[in-house]
């Protein structure tokens, strides 16, 4: 899906999505020099983690 569609799916702005990609929180793929996203990768972002933060 496109960056715009992925941002809508995650309910964030496109700019915030790009920041998440830069920080490595969301996996993206390049197709014809444009960012593309898989729904399964976005679902991992939405899934609550079991990690404990100190």
Tokens of 18: 């790009």
pLDDT the model gives residue 48: 77
pTM of the model: 0.80
- What pLDDT was estimated at residue 50? 55
Structure tokens at 23: 């920080």
Walk along the chain (54 residues) and give the pLDDT tens digit of each residue.
999 999 999 999 999 999 999 999 999 999 999 999 999 999 998 887 656 555
Place of tokens 């983690």: 49
Give the phi and the psi of residue 27 in degrees, each rounded to 5: -85, 135
Per-domain residue ranges for the chain?
A: 3-46
Which of helix, strand or coil describes residue 48?
Answer: coil
Is the dihedral angle over the CA atoms 12, 25, 48, 51 positive or is it negative? negative
User: What residues are paired with 35 via a beta bridge?
Assistant: 30
Q: What's the confidence (pLDDT) of residue 18?
A: 95
């Amino acid at each position: 899906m496109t960056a715009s569609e992925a941002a809508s799916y995650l309910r964030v702005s496109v700019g915030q999505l790009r920041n998440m990609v830069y920080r490595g929180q969301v996996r993206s793929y390049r197709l014809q020099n444009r960012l593309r996203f898989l729904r399964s990768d976005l679902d991992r972002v939405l899934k609550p983690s079991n990690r404990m933060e100190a």
